[in-house]
Structure 1
Amino acid sequence: MVQFLHTQADLALALARLVQADPRLVPVLEKAGEPALRRGQPGFPGLARIICGQQLSTASARAIWTRLEAAFDPFHHEALRRARADRLGRLGLSAAKIKSIKAIAHALAKGELDLERIAQSDADTAHAALIEMHGIGPWTADIYLLFCLGHADAWPAGDLALQESARIALGLKARPSAKELSAIADAWRPWRGVAAHLLWGYYHVVKRREGVAVEAKPEAAQPAARTSTGKARRNGRTQRPSAVGTKPRAAKR
């Protein structure tokens, strides 16, 4: 059965199951605290927003997205498919991002990409379907599954912040490669996405810095969550947009 994180309560329950399955993560949760669940818009707008924000600061990504969203209201793949590249460029998109967004829009228009079916698929099947499309690499696919669909088992193994966080949290001698991190995360199925949320939170605490921003809204109006140590954490602490990881520079766009 495919598991999704729709509410903060879903995340709290999944975290409890995750640390029960792997006690090595208990001190990680105690130090990082329960992360706030962040959700972005699903479908074409969500994918386009992730691509827009790749390797940009939160402020720059937000500014470009604000202009793009205002220029195309409603934000529909058919409108972007027909849009002139020079117009998109004036809104702040690079040539590579224009090519990626247009390729996805064309795939949706032709029925080559079925985002509704992907939304119901298990993490590995959904990941494989997404990366078949030009412009959607492994990192983009998994960030979409995590933050736009709330998939509990998506796992962006190529994310540099996750790799570094896992190195520190698990006491590894070196930062694991994407392949090595995938093998480590096999023990966390079907909660690999939950582990990703936890490790990003841990990375922020121990490194005091964040990677490339993927902006998503925290779940609203949730009561203060409690960590495994019993200390309350207010959602207000996470009301600002924050980074979730660092896309590998060599990843496919």
Structure 2
Amino acid sequence: MHIFRYGQKELKYLKERDKALGSVIGRIGMLQFEVIPDIFAGLVRSIVFQQISIKAATSIWNRMLGHFKEISPERISSATIEEIQNCGLSARKAISIKEIAMAEMQGELNLSELRNLSDEEVIRRLSALRGIGVWTAEMVLIFSMERPDVVSWSDLGIRQGMMRLYGLKTLTKEQFEKYRKRYSPYGSIASLYLWRLPPDL
């Protein structure tokens, strides 16, 4: 299993920049989040996790791993949409995954190129694909590419984490941007802690 890599340098920076977040980091310690280095598999996983509970998504993902053995363009492109859907996916998600696999196999898409692009360009290219939005692209940036500075406005858990951390009843885009800039250049590490805020905060 690959784990998102970070260390004391990033934590020291975040603790100095934000006392509230620093207190949480001190209480929780180091976190372990699984990373899928293969961009195609990571993209498929992010599609699976769109707009459903983590528990349901994890169950579907595990069924896909059990059925296909390998989440690769070759394996998925040769599957029928019904076969993909039978793992628990909606028709929309199954079609999206199949189309992306086909595009990669036919050379219309080259996901390996994304590693050489900026975060903004990765988001632009991926969100041009059917079934892929900004949130899905941002999750690929964090959980496949290990980009260090991603804080997703599109992620409800991130927004709720900020509201709890700073005692806010609502969160405007301006407030979000203020915190995001405060965490930079280690926003992804801040995101990990916002997702894992202790319940007794």
| TM-score grouping bracket, smaller chain normalisation | 0.7 to 0.9
Structure whose residues are more often helix by fraction:
2
Alignment of 1:52-67 (within 5 A): 52-67=48-63
Q: Deviations over 1:221-241 (max 9, x none)?
A: xxxxxxxxxxxxxxxxxxxxx
Q: Name the counterpart of 1:33.
A: 29
How many residues matched?
A: 199
SS in 2 for 1:111: coil
The residue type paired with residue 185 of structure 1 is R
Q: 2:187 aligns with which of 192, 197, 216?
A: 192
In 2: Cα distance, 1:114 partner to 1:87 partner: 24
Q: Does the CA contact (< 8 Å) of 2:4 and 2:34 recur in 1?
A: no
**TM-score, normalising length: structure 1:** 0.67
Alignment-derived partner of residue 89 in structure 1: 85
Question: Which whole-Å CA distance do the structure 1 matches of 2:21 and 2:130 have between them?
Answer: 36
Shift of 1:40: 2.7
CA distance in 2, matches of 1:29, 1:110: 45
Matched, 1:48 2:47: no
Q: CA RMSD in A?
A: 2.7
1:40–1:83 Cα change, 3 Å = same
Normalised by the length of structure 2, the TM-score is 0.82
1:181 and 2:190 aligned = no
Partner of 1:80: 76
Once the two structures are overlaid, the 10-residue window that deviates more, 107-116 or 131-140, is 107-116
- Structure 2, unmatched stretches of 5+, are none
CA distance in 2, matches of 1:6, 1:28: 19
- Distance of 2:67 and 2:95 partners within structure 1: 18
Match of 1:154 in 2: 150
Determine the C-alpha separation between the residues in 1 that align with 2:143 and 2:57: 16
Worse-superposed segment, 183-192 or 28-37: 28-37
- Report the alpha carbon displacement of residue 28 of structure 1 after superposing the two structures with TM: 3.1
Deviation at 1:98, TM superposition (A): 0.7
List per-residue Cα deviations over 1:169-193 (Å, max 9, x = no partner). 223341335x652453123222111
- Taking every aligned residue pair, what percent have the same amino acid on both sides? 28
Match of 1:129 among 117, 125, 139: 125
- Larger RCO (alpha carbons 8 Å, 6+ apart): 1
Flag the 1:55–1:185 CA change in 2: closer, same or farther, 3 A.
Answer: same
Task: Give 1:23 deviation, angstroms.
Answer: 3.9
